[in-house]
Amino acid sequence: MSKFFARFIKDESGATAIEYGLIAALISVALIAGASTLGESLDNTFSAIAGKMEACVEGAATADCD
pLDDT digits (tens, 9 = 90+) for 23-56: 999 999 999 999 999 999 999 999 999 988 888 8
The span from the CA of 64 to the CA of 55, in Å, is 9
Instruction: Evaluate whether 63 touches 52 at the Cβ level (below 8 Å).
Output: yes
Residue 66 banded pLDDT, cuts 50, 70, 90: low
Instruction: Evaluate whether 56 touches 65 at the Cβ level (below 8 Å).
Output: yes
pLDDT in the model for residue 55: 85
As a 3-state breakdown, the chain gives helix, strand, coil percent values, each rounded to 5, of 80, 0, 20
The span from the CA of 10 to the CA of 1, in Å, is 15
What does the chain come to in residues?
Answer: 66
pLDDT in the model for residue 61: 62
